[in-house]
Chains A and B, each alone.
Chain A
Amino acid sequence: MGFDVGVIVQSLPFLMQGLGLSLLLTVLAAAGGIVMAVALALMRLSGITALSLIAAAYVNFFRSMPLILVIFWFFFLVPLMIGRPVGGFYSALIAFTLFEAAYYAEIVRAGIQSVSRGQVAAGYATGLSYGQTMRFIVLPQAFRNMTPVLLTQAIVLFQDTSLVFVVSLRDFMTATTIVARNEGRLIEMYLFAAAVYLVICLAGSLYVRRLQRKFAR
Protein backbone atom coordinates (compact mmCIF):
# COMPACT_ATOMS: atom_id res chain seq x y z
CA MET A 1 0.00 0.00 0.00
CA GLY A 2 2.29 2.78 1.22
CA PHE A 3 1.49 6.47 1.47
CA ASP A 4 0.05 7.66 -1.82
CA VAL A 5 0.28 11.39 -2.40
CA GLY A 6 -1.04 10.88 -5.93
CA VAL A 7 -4.60 10.42 -4.77
CA ILE A 8 -4.55 13.85 -3.16
CA VAL A 9 -3.18 15.50 -6.27
CA GLN A 10 -5.70 13.75 -8.50
CA SER A 11 -8.68 14.72 -6.40
CA LEU A 12 -7.48 18.26 -5.77
CA PRO A 13 -9.99 20.03 -8.04
CA PHE A 14 -12.84 18.16 -6.35
CA LEU A 15 -11.47 18.95 -2.90
CA MET A 16 -10.99 22.59 -3.76
CA GLN A 17 -14.61 22.84 -4.79
CA GLY A 18 -15.48 21.62 -1.32
CA LEU A 19 -13.10 24.10 0.26
CA GLY A 20 -14.65 26.86 -1.84
CA LEU A 21 -18.08 26.01 -0.45
CA SER A 22 -16.75 25.99 3.12
CA LEU A 23 -15.14 29.40 2.69
CA LEU A 24 -18.18 30.83 0.89
CA LEU A 25 -20.47 29.71 3.71
CA THR A 26 -18.08 31.13 6.29
CA VAL A 27 -17.81 34.53 4.63
CA LEU A 28 -21.50 34.93 3.85
CA ALA A 29 -22.69 33.70 7.26
CA ALA A 30 -20.12 35.84 9.08
CA ALA A 31 -21.12 38.94 7.12
CA GLY A 32 -24.84 38.32 7.55
CA GLY A 33 -24.33 37.36 11.18
CA ILE A 34 -22.45 40.56 11.96
CA VAL A 35 -25.12 42.75 10.37
CA MET A 36 -27.81 41.00 12.42
CA ALA A 37 -25.61 41.09 15.49
CA VAL A 38 -25.29 44.89 15.31
CA ALA A 39 -29.08 45.18 15.19
CA LEU A 40 -29.44 42.75 18.11
CA ALA A 41 -26.79 44.51 20.18
CA LEU A 42 -28.37 47.93 19.58
CA MET A 43 -31.76 46.48 20.58
CA ARG A 44 -30.21 44.97 23.68
CA LEU A 45 -28.62 48.29 24.66
CA SER A 46 -31.54 50.47 23.57
CA GLY A 47 -32.95 50.87 27.07
CA ILE A 48 -36.36 50.00 25.61
CA THR A 49 -37.50 46.99 27.62
CA ALA A 50 -39.43 45.23 24.86
CA LEU A 51 -36.59 45.47 22.32
CA SER A 52 -34.02 44.48 24.88
CA LEU A 53 -36.03 41.41 25.90
CA ILE A 54 -36.56 40.27 22.32
CA ALA A 55 -32.83 40.52 21.64
CA ALA A 56 -31.94 38.72 24.86
CA ALA A 57 -34.43 35.95 24.12
CA TYR A 58 -33.03 35.51 20.62
CA VAL A 59 -29.46 35.30 21.83
CA ASN A 60 -30.20 32.91 24.67
CA PHE A 61 -32.39 30.71 22.49
CA PHE A 62 -29.83 30.18 19.75
CA ARG A 63 -27.00 29.78 22.20
CA SER A 64 -28.86 26.89 23.81
CA MET A 65 -29.40 25.05 20.51
CA PRO A 66 -26.91 22.74 18.86
CA LEU A 67 -26.00 24.17 15.46
CA ILE A 68 -26.83 20.90 13.74
CA LEU A 69 -30.40 21.11 15.01
CA VAL A 70 -30.80 24.59 13.55
CA ILE A 71 -29.58 23.31 10.20
CA PHE A 72 -32.10 20.46 10.34
CA TRP A 73 -34.96 22.84 11.04
CA PHE A 74 -34.31 24.86 7.97
CA PHE A 75 -33.85 21.79 5.85
CA PHE A 76 -36.81 19.73 7.08
CA LEU A 77 -39.24 21.95 8.98
CA VAL A 78 -39.22 25.25 7.13
CA PRO A 79 -40.15 23.59 3.79
CA LEU A 80 -43.17 22.08 5.54
CA MET A 81 -44.17 25.54 6.71
CA ILE A 82 -43.66 27.42 3.47
CA GLY A 83 -44.63 24.58 1.17
CA ARG A 84 -41.46 24.32 -0.89
CA PRO A 85 -37.93 23.05 -0.31
CA VAL A 86 -35.33 25.53 0.88
CA GLY A 87 -32.42 23.56 -0.53
CA GLY A 88 -29.29 22.42 1.22
CA PHE A 89 -27.19 25.52 0.57
CA TYR A 90 -29.79 28.05 1.65
CA SER A 91 -30.87 26.10 4.71
CA ALA A 92 -27.25 25.82 5.80
CA LEU A 93 -26.56 29.50 5.05
CA ILE A 94 -29.65 30.73 6.89
CA ALA A 95 -29.00 28.44 9.85
CA PHE A 96 -25.36 29.53 10.13
CA THR A 97 -26.28 33.22 9.83
CA LEU A 98 -28.99 33.08 12.50
CA PHE A 99 -26.83 30.98 14.75
CA GLU A 100 -23.70 33.12 14.39
CA ALA A 101 -25.73 36.30 14.88
CA ALA A 102 -26.47 35.14 18.43
CA TYR A 103 -22.78 34.70 19.21
CA TYR A 104 -21.67 37.85 17.39
CA ALA A 105 -24.39 39.86 19.17
CA GLU A 106 -22.69 39.38 22.50
CA ILE A 107 -19.31 40.30 21.02
CA VAL A 108 -20.74 43.42 19.39
CA ARG A 109 -22.49 44.38 22.61
CA ALA A 110 -19.23 44.15 24.53
CA GLY A 111 -17.53 46.11 21.74
CA ILE A 112 -20.07 48.93 21.90
CA GLN A 113 -19.76 49.03 25.67
CA SER A 114 -15.98 49.25 25.36
CA VAL A 115 -16.36 52.72 23.79
CA SER A 116 -16.44 55.32 26.56
CA ARG A 117 -19.68 57.13 27.30
CA GLY A 118 -17.82 60.39 26.90
CA GLN A 119 -17.49 59.69 23.18
CA VAL A 120 -21.26 59.37 22.91
CA ALA A 121 -21.68 62.58 24.91
CA ALA A 122 -19.26 64.35 22.57
CA GLY A 123 -21.25 63.22 19.55
CA TYR A 124 -24.55 64.33 21.05
CA ALA A 125 -23.04 67.63 22.20
CA THR A 126 -22.23 68.58 18.61
CA GLY A 127 -25.81 67.86 17.58
CA LEU A 128 -25.35 64.41 16.05
CA SER A 129 -28.37 62.12 16.35
CA TYR A 130 -28.32 58.70 18.02
CA GLY A 131 -27.96 56.99 14.64
CA GLN A 132 -25.16 59.30 13.48
CA THR A 133 -23.32 58.95 16.77
CA MET A 134 -23.47 55.16 16.50
CA ARG A 135 -22.50 55.09 12.86
CA PHE A 136 -19.66 57.60 12.81
CA ILE A 137 -18.29 57.47 16.34
CA VAL A 138 -19.22 54.38 18.36
CA LEU A 139 -19.38 51.51 15.86
CA PRO A 140 -16.08 52.28 14.08
CA GLN A 141 -14.28 52.24 17.43
CA ALA A 142 -16.23 49.22 18.63
CA PHE A 143 -15.38 47.21 15.50
CA ARG A 144 -11.76 48.12 15.82
CA ASN A 145 -11.78 46.79 19.38
CA MET A 146 -13.64 43.63 18.54
CA THR A 147 -12.16 42.63 15.18
CA PRO A 148 -9.83 40.03 16.76
CA VAL A 149 -12.71 38.35 18.60
CA LEU A 150 -14.96 38.47 15.55
CA LEU A 151 -12.25 36.82 13.45
CA THR A 152 -11.68 34.14 16.08
CA GLN A 153 -15.41 33.39 15.99
CA ALA A 154 -15.23 33.22 12.17
CA ILE A 155 -12.49 30.60 12.47
CA VAL A 156 -14.78 28.50 14.67
CA LEU A 157 -17.52 29.02 12.10
CA PHE A 158 -15.21 27.80 9.35
CA GLN A 159 -14.62 24.58 11.27
CA ASP A 160 -18.35 24.21 11.90
CA THR A 161 -19.13 24.29 8.19
CA SER A 162 -18.16 20.61 8.19
CA LEU A 163 -21.63 20.00 9.65
CA VAL A 164 -23.34 20.69 6.33
CA PHE A 165 -22.88 17.08 5.27
CA VAL A 166 -26.16 16.43 7.11
CA VAL A 167 -28.01 18.28 4.36
CA SER A 168 -25.93 16.61 1.63
CA LEU A 169 -23.77 19.61 0.83
CA ARG A 170 -20.23 18.89 -0.29
CA ASP A 171 -18.04 21.07 1.87
CA PHE A 172 -14.33 20.42 2.18
CA MET A 173 -14.69 17.77 4.89
CA THR A 174 -17.43 15.92 3.01
CA ALA A 175 -15.45 16.02 -0.24
CA THR A 176 -12.47 14.58 1.59
CA THR A 177 -14.59 11.77 3.01
CA ILE A 178 -16.00 10.90 -0.43
CA VAL A 179 -12.55 10.61 -1.96
CA ALA A 180 -11.23 8.68 1.03
CA ARG A 181 -14.01 6.12 0.77
CA ASN A 182 -14.01 5.77 -3.02
CA GLU A 183 -10.25 5.40 -3.29
CA GLY A 184 -9.80 3.51 -0.02
CA ARG A 185 -7.20 6.08 1.05
CA LEU A 186 -8.48 7.07 4.48
CA ILE A 187 -5.10 7.86 6.05
CA GLU A 188 -3.83 10.10 3.26
CA MET A 189 -7.07 11.98 2.87
CA TYR A 190 -7.78 12.60 6.52
CA LEU A 191 -4.20 13.67 7.20
CA PHE A 192 -4.45 16.05 4.28
CA ALA A 193 -7.77 17.42 5.57
CA ALA A 194 -6.25 17.99 8.98
CA ALA A 195 -3.29 19.79 7.40
CA VAL A 196 -5.57 22.09 5.41
CA TYR A 197 -7.70 23.00 8.44
CA LEU A 198 -4.56 23.52 10.49
CA VAL A 199 -2.97 25.83 7.94
CA ILE A 200 -6.10 27.93 7.41
CA CYS A 201 -6.97 28.25 11.09
CA LEU A 202 -3.35 28.90 12.13
CA ALA A 203 -3.03 31.59 9.48
CA GLY A 204 -6.25 33.12 10.79
CA SER A 205 -5.06 32.99 14.39
CA LEU A 206 -1.71 34.52 13.53
CA TYR A 207 -3.46 37.33 11.70
CA VAL A 208 -5.70 37.88 14.75
CA ARG A 209 -2.68 38.05 17.02
CA ARG A 210 -1.00 40.56 14.73
CA LEU A 211 -4.13 42.71 14.78
CA GLN A 212 -4.28 42.51 18.56
CA ARG A 213 -0.71 43.63 18.85
CA LYS A 214 -1.31 46.46 16.40
CA PHE A 215 -4.39 47.66 18.32
CA ALA A 216 -2.69 47.32 21.68
CA ARG A 217 -0.24 50.01 20.71
Chain B
Amino acid sequence: MIEMRDISKRYGDFQVLKNCSTRVAQGEVVVVCGPSGSGKSTLIKCVNGLEPFQKGAITVDGVSVGDRKTNLTKLRARIGMVFQNFELYPHMTVARNIRLAQEKVLGRSPGEAQAKAMALLARVGLAEQADKHPGQLSGGQQQRVAIARALAMDPIAMLFDEPTSALDPEMINEVLEVMVELAQEGMTMMVVTHEMGFARKVAHRVVFMDEGEIVEDAAKEDFFGAPRSERAQKFLSKILHHI
Protein backbone atom coordinates (compact mmCIF):
# COMPACT_ATOMS: atom_id res chain seq x y z
CA MET B 1 0.00 0.00 0.00
CA ILE B 2 2.77 2.43 1.03
CA GLU B 3 6.27 1.93 -0.40
CA MET B 4 9.24 4.12 0.45
CA ARG B 5 12.55 3.69 -1.29
CA ASP B 6 15.72 5.54 -0.27
CA ILE B 7 14.05 8.70 0.94
CA SER B 8 16.53 11.47 1.72
CA LYS B 9 15.74 14.97 2.80
CA ARG B 10 17.86 17.87 3.96
CA TYR B 11 17.13 21.30 5.36
CA GLY B 12 20.17 23.25 4.19
CA ASP B 13 23.13 21.44 5.72
CA PHE B 14 21.04 19.34 8.05
CA GLN B 15 20.22 15.87 6.84
CA VAL B 16 16.79 15.01 8.29
CA LEU B 17 16.29 11.72 6.48
CA LYS B 18 18.96 9.39 5.18
CA ASN B 19 18.02 6.70 2.66
CA CYS B 20 14.88 5.56 4.45
CA SER B 21 13.12 2.57 2.97
CA THR B 22 10.13 0.71 4.34
CA ARG B 23 6.70 -0.44 3.35
CA VAL B 24 3.25 -0.78 4.80
CA ALA B 25 1.14 -3.55 3.31
CA GLN B 26 -2.62 -3.44 3.01
CA GLY B 27 -4.19 -3.95 6.43
CA GLU B 28 -0.85 -3.69 8.17
CA VAL B 29 -0.16 -1.55 11.22
CA VAL B 30 3.36 -0.16 11.36
CA VAL B 31 4.56 1.79 14.37
CA VAL B 32 7.42 4.23 13.87
CA CYS B 33 9.35 5.09 17.00
CA GLY B 34 12.63 6.64 18.01
CA PRO B 35 14.09 9.50 20.01
CA SER B 36 12.81 13.02 19.34
CA GLY B 37 14.50 14.65 16.41
CA SER B 38 15.07 11.31 14.73
CA GLY B 39 12.98 12.29 11.70
CA LYS B 40 9.88 10.17 12.38
CA SER B 41 7.40 13.00 11.91
CA THR B 42 9.17 14.24 8.80
CA LEU B 43 9.08 10.72 7.34
CA ILE B 44 5.36 10.26 7.88
CA LYS B 45 4.63 13.70 6.40
CA CYS B 46 6.51 12.70 3.27
CA VAL B 47 3.94 9.95 2.69
CA ASN B 48 1.16 12.40 1.77
CA GLY B 49 3.49 15.03 0.37
CA LEU B 50 3.14 17.53 3.22
CA GLU B 51 6.94 17.48 3.35
CA PRO B 52 8.83 17.42 0.07
CA PHE B 53 11.86 15.14 -0.19
CA GLN B 54 14.87 15.45 -2.44
CA LYS B 55 15.79 11.86 -3.17
CA GLY B 56 14.04 8.53 -3.36
CA ALA B 57 10.50 7.52 -4.22
CA ILE B 58 7.26 6.99 -2.33
CA THR B 59 4.25 5.30 -3.83
CA VAL B 60 0.86 5.05 -2.20
CA ASP B 61 -1.51 2.56 -3.80
CA GLY B 62 0.75 2.67 -6.86
CA VAL B 63 0.68 6.47 -7.17
CA SER B 64 4.06 8.22 -6.94
CA VAL B 65 4.02 11.00 -4.33
CA GLY B 66 7.14 12.82 -5.51
CA ASP B 67 6.12 12.85 -9.18
CA ARG B 68 5.30 16.36 -10.43
CA LYS B 69 2.52 14.98 -12.58
CA THR B 70 0.77 13.39 -9.60
CA ASN B 71 -2.32 15.20 -8.42
CA LEU B 72 -1.29 15.46 -4.77
CA THR B 73 -4.61 16.96 -3.71
CA LYS B 74 -6.44 13.95 -5.07
CA LEU B 75 -4.03 11.53 -3.43
CA ARG B 76 -4.21 13.28 -0.06
CA ALA B 77 -7.98 13.00 -0.07
CA ARG B 78 -7.52 9.21 0.05
CA ILE B 79 -5.03 9.20 2.93
CA GLY B 80 -6.23 10.16 6.40
CA MET B 81 -3.90 12.04 8.70
CA VAL B 82 -4.04 12.80 12.41
CA PHE B 83 -1.72 15.41 13.88
CA GLN B 84 -0.02 15.83 17.22
CA ASN B 85 -1.87 19.10 17.90
CA PHE B 86 -5.24 17.89 16.55
CA GLU B 87 -5.50 20.84 14.14
CA LEU B 88 -9.26 20.97 14.23
CA TYR B 89 -10.59 24.16 12.66
CA PRO B 90 -11.37 26.34 15.68
CA HIS B 91 -13.89 28.57 13.88
CA MET B 92 -16.17 25.70 12.92
CA THR B 93 -18.36 23.35 14.89
CA VAL B 94 -17.23 19.79 15.38
CA ALA B 95 -19.74 18.53 12.80
CA ARG B 96 -18.67 21.14 10.25
CA ASN B 97 -15.03 20.15 10.81
CA ILE B 98 -15.97 16.66 9.68
CA ARG B 99 -18.26 17.82 6.85
CA LEU B 100 -15.94 20.34 5.17
CA ALA B 101 -13.70 18.12 3.05
CA GLN B 102 -16.51 15.63 2.41
CA GLU B 103 -18.48 18.40 0.74
CA LYS B 104 -15.67 20.37 -0.90
CA VAL B 105 -13.45 17.50 -1.99
CA LEU B 106 -15.72 14.47 -2.40
CA GLY B 107 -18.75 16.51 -3.46
CA ARG B 108 -21.08 14.86 -0.97
CA SER B 109 -24.35 16.65 -0.24
CA PRO B 110 -24.59 18.44 3.11
CA GLY B 111 -27.14 15.86 4.30
CA GLU B 112 -24.97 12.94 3.35
CA ALA B 113 -21.87 14.55 4.90
CA GLN B 114 -23.76 15.33 8.10
CA ALA B 115 -25.05 11.76 8.38
CA LYS B 116 -21.51 10.46 7.95
CA ALA B 117 -20.21 12.96 10.50
CA MET B 118 -22.81 11.91 13.07
CA ALA B 119 -22.16 8.21 12.51
CA LEU B 120 -18.41 8.70 13.00
CA LEU B 121 -18.92 10.91 16.06
CA ALA B 122 -21.09 8.20 17.56
CA ARG B 123 -18.36 5.70 16.82
CA VAL B 124 -15.72 7.73 18.68
CA GLY B 125 -18.20 8.38 21.50
CA LEU B 126 -18.81 12.06 20.87
CA ALA B 127 -22.25 12.27 19.28
CA GLU B 128 -23.41 14.85 21.81
CA GLN B 129 -20.55 17.22 20.99
CA ALA B 130 -21.44 17.74 17.32
CA ASP B 131 -22.54 21.34 17.68
CA LYS B 132 -19.76 22.49 19.97
CA HIS B 133 -16.61 24.23 18.86
CA PRO B 134 -13.25 22.44 19.27
CA GLY B 135 -12.19 24.91 21.97
CA GLN B 136 -14.96 23.58 24.21
CA LEU B 137 -13.63 20.02 24.10
CA SER B 138 -10.83 18.34 26.02
CA GLY B 139 -7.66 17.34 24.20
CA GLY B 140 -8.67 13.70 24.07
CA GLN B 141 -12.07 14.59 22.65
CA GLN B 142 -10.50 16.88 20.07
CA GLN B 143 -8.17 14.16 18.90
CA ARG B 144 -11.06 11.72 18.58
CA VAL B 145 -12.88 14.29 16.44
CA ALA B 146 -9.72 14.64 14.34
CA ILE B 147 -9.72 10.88 13.78
CA ALA B 148 -13.38 11.05 12.79
CA ARG B 149 -12.59 13.90 10.39
CA ALA B 150 -9.93 11.79 8.68
CA LEU B 151 -12.15 8.68 8.55
CA ALA B 152 -14.98 10.67 6.98
CA MET B 153 -13.03 10.65 3.73
CA ASP B 154 -13.10 6.82 3.63
CA PRO B 155 -9.30 6.68 3.48
CA ILE B 156 -7.34 3.73 2.11
CA ALA B 157 -4.73 4.29 4.84
CA MET B 158 -4.32 6.37 7.98
CA LEU B 159 -1.24 8.27 9.11
CA PHE B 160 -0.88 9.21 12.79
CA ASP B 161 1.80 11.72 13.75
CA GLU B 162 2.34 11.42 17.51
CA PRO B 163 -1.41 11.45 18.16
CA THR B 164 -1.12 11.27 21.94
CA SER B 165 1.99 13.37 22.59
CA ALA B 166 0.07 16.58 23.28
CA LEU B 167 -2.44 14.91 25.59
CA ASP B 168 -2.69 14.86 29.35
CA PRO B 169 -1.94 11.32 30.58
CA GLU B 170 -5.52 10.57 31.59
CA MET B 171 -6.73 11.23 28.03
CA ILE B 172 -4.27 9.06 26.18
CA ASN B 173 -6.27 5.87 26.51
CA GLU B 174 -9.51 7.17 25.04
CA VAL B 175 -7.59 8.03 21.87
CA LEU B 176 -5.59 4.80 21.80
CA GLU B 177 -8.78 2.78 22.20
CA VAL B 178 -10.19 4.31 19.03
CA MET B 179 -6.94 3.55 17.23
CA VAL B 180 -6.84 -0.04 18.46
CA GLU B 181 -10.37 -0.57 17.21
CA LEU B 182 -9.40 0.81 13.81
CA ALA B 183 -6.38 -1.46 13.67
CA GLN B 184 -8.46 -4.49 14.56
CA GLU B 185 -10.88 -3.65 11.78
CA GLY B 186 -8.01 -3.99 9.34
CA MET B 187 -7.23 -0.34 8.57
CA THR B 188 -3.81 0.20 7.02
CA MET B 189 -1.99 2.40 9.53
CA MET B 190 1.36 4.09 9.91
CA VAL B 191 1.70 5.43 13.43
CA VAL B 192 4.46 7.60 14.85
CA THR B 193 4.20 7.14 18.61
CA HIS B 194 6.03 6.47 21.84
CA GLU B 195 3.15 4.35 23.10
CA MET B 196 4.83 0.97 23.18
CA GLY B 197 1.74 -0.58 24.76
CA PHE B 198 -0.17 0.29 21.61
CA ALA B 199 2.63 -1.12 19.47
CA ARG B 200 2.64 -4.39 21.41
CA LYS B 201 -1.09 -4.72 21.17
CA VAL B 202 -1.80 -4.04 17.51
CA ALA B 203 1.35 -3.36 15.49
CA HIS B 204 2.53 -5.87 12.95
CA ARG B 205 5.88 -4.23 12.48
CA VAL B 206 7.97 -1.64 14.30
CA VAL B 207 10.28 0.79 12.54
CA PHE B 208 12.93 2.32 14.77
CA MET B 209 14.55 5.56 13.64
CA ASP B 210 17.55 7.47 14.94
CA GLU B 211 19.29 10.49 13.45
CA GLY B 212 17.30 10.36 10.25
CA GLU B 213 17.96 6.69 9.56
CA ILE B 214 15.80 3.63 9.78
CA VAL B 215 17.94 1.60 12.16
CA GLU B 216 15.58 -1.30 12.61
CA ASP B 217 12.53 -2.49 10.71
CA ALA B 218 11.29 -5.69 12.28
CA ALA B 219 8.25 -7.73 13.13
CA LYS B 220 6.82 -6.66 16.49
CA GLU B 221 7.84 -9.86 18.25
CA ASP B 222 11.43 -9.54 17.09
CA PHE B 223 11.66 -5.87 17.92
CA PHE B 224 10.41 -6.19 21.47
CA GLY B 225 11.93 -9.64 22.05
CA ALA B 226 15.41 -9.05 20.77
CA PRO B 227 16.22 -5.72 19.17
CA ARG B 228 19.35 -6.19 17.09
CA SER B 229 20.85 -2.72 17.20
CA GLU B 230 22.37 -1.19 20.27
CA ARG B 231 20.53 2.07 19.64
CA ALA B 232 17.16 0.34 19.65
CA GLN B 233 18.07 -1.55 22.83
CA LYS B 234 19.03 1.70 24.54
CA PHE B 235 15.87 3.41 23.40
CA LEU B 236 13.67 0.55 24.55
CA SER B 237 15.31 0.30 27.94
CA LYS B 238 14.81 4.04 28.43
CA ILE B 239 11.21 4.06 27.36
CA LEU B 240 10.09 0.81 28.98
CA HIS B 241 11.92 0.90 32.27
CA HIS B 242 11.09 4.27 33.64
CA ILE B 243 9.18 3.83 36.87
A42 to B3, CA, bound (A): 35
User: Shortest CB–CB separation between residue B45 and chain A, in angstroms?
Assistant: 8
Which residues of chain A are within 8 angstroms of B153 by Cβ–Cβ distance?
126-127
Contact status A137-B89, CB under 8 Å: yes
Instruction: Tell me the nearest residue of chain B to A130, going by C-beta.
Output: B73
Contact status A126-B76, CB under 8 Å: yes
Which residues of chain A are within 8 angstroms of B100 by Cβ–Cβ distance?
126, 128, 136
A144 at the interface (CB under 8 A from B): yes
Contact status A144-B77, CB under 8 Å: no
User: Shortest CB–CB separation between residue B119 and chain A, in angstroms?
Assistant: 17
Instruction: Tell me the nearest residue of chain A to B105, going by C-beta.
Output: A127
Contact status A121-B50, CB under 8 Å: yes
Interface centre among A119, A121, A122, A128 (most CB of B within 10 A): A122
User: Shortest CB–CB separation between residue B149 and chain A, in angstroms?
Assistant: 7
B167 at the interface (CB under 8 A from A): no
Instruction: Tell me the nearest residue of chain B to A121, going by C-beta.
Output: B50
A12 to B151, CA, bound (A): 63
Which residues of chain B are within 8 angstroms of A128 by Cβ–Cβ distance?
73, 100-101, 104-105
Which residues of chain A are within 8 angstroms of B81 by Cβ–Cβ distance?
122, 125-126
Instruction: Tell me the nearest residue of chain A to B87, going by C-beta.
Output: A122
Per the CB 8 Å criterion, the residue count for chain A at the interface is 17
Of A122, A124, A129, which contacts B89 at CB under 8 A? A122
User: Shortest CB–CB separation between residue A29 and chain B, in angstroms?
Assistant: 27
A136-B104, A140-B91 are known contacts. Are A127 and B83 too (CB-CB below 8 A)? no
A66 at the interface (CB under 8 A from B): no
Instruction: Tell me the nearest residue of chain B to A125, going by C-beta.
Output: B81
Q: Binary interface profile of B, 71-87, with partner A (CB < 8 Å = 1, else 0)?
A: 00110111111010101
B150 at the interface (CB under 8 A from A): yes
Contact status B91-A125, CB under 8 Å: no
Instruction: Tell me the nearest residue of chain B to A140, going by C-beta.
Output: B91
Interface of A, secondary structure class, is: helix
A45 to B100, CA, bound (A): 25
Which residues of chain B are within 8 angstroms of A136 by Cβ–Cβ distance?
89, 100, 104
Contact status B87-A121, CB under 8 Å: yes
User: Shortest CB–CB separation between residue B188 and chain A, in angstroms?
Assistant: 16
Contact status A124-B50, CB under 8 Å: yes
A141 at the interface (CB under 8 A from B): yes
Of B80, B85, B101, B104, which contacts A118 at CB under 8 A? B85
User: Shortest CB–CB separation between residue A146 and chain B, in angstroms?
Assistant: 14
Instruction: Tell me the nearest residue of chain B to A135, going by C-beta.
Output: B104
Which residues of chain A are within 8 angstroms of B91 by Cβ–Cβ distance?
140-141, 144
A125 to B75, CA, bound (A): 9
A141 to B92, CA, bound (A): 10
A128-B101, A137-B89, A140-B91 are known contacts. Are A122 and B83 too (CB-CB below 8 A)? yes
A137 to B104, CA, bound (A): 12
A137 to B90, CA, bound (A): 9
Contact status A132-B104, CB under 8 Å: yes
Which residues of chain B are within 8 angstroms of A127 by Cβ–Cβ distance?
73-74, 76-78, 101, 105-106, 153
Contact status A119-B87, CB under 8 Å: yes
A129 to B104, CA, bound (A): 9
User: Shortest CB–CB separation between residue A47 and chain B, in angstroms?
Assistant: 12
Contact status A126-B87, CB under 8 Å: no
B193 at the interface (CB under 8 A from A): no
A126 to B149, CA, bound (A): 8
A88 to B150, CA, bound (A): 55
* Closest 3 pairs between A and B when the two form their complex, measured CB to CB: A127-B77, A126-B101, A122-B87
A-B contact pairs, 22 of them (CB 8 A): A116-B85, A116-B87, A118-B85, A121-B50, A122-B81, A122-B87, A124-B76, A125-B80, A125-B81, A125-B150, A126-B101, A126-B153, A127-B74, A127-B76, A127-B77, A127-B105, A127-B153, A128-B73, A128-B105, A140-B91, A141-B89, A144-B91
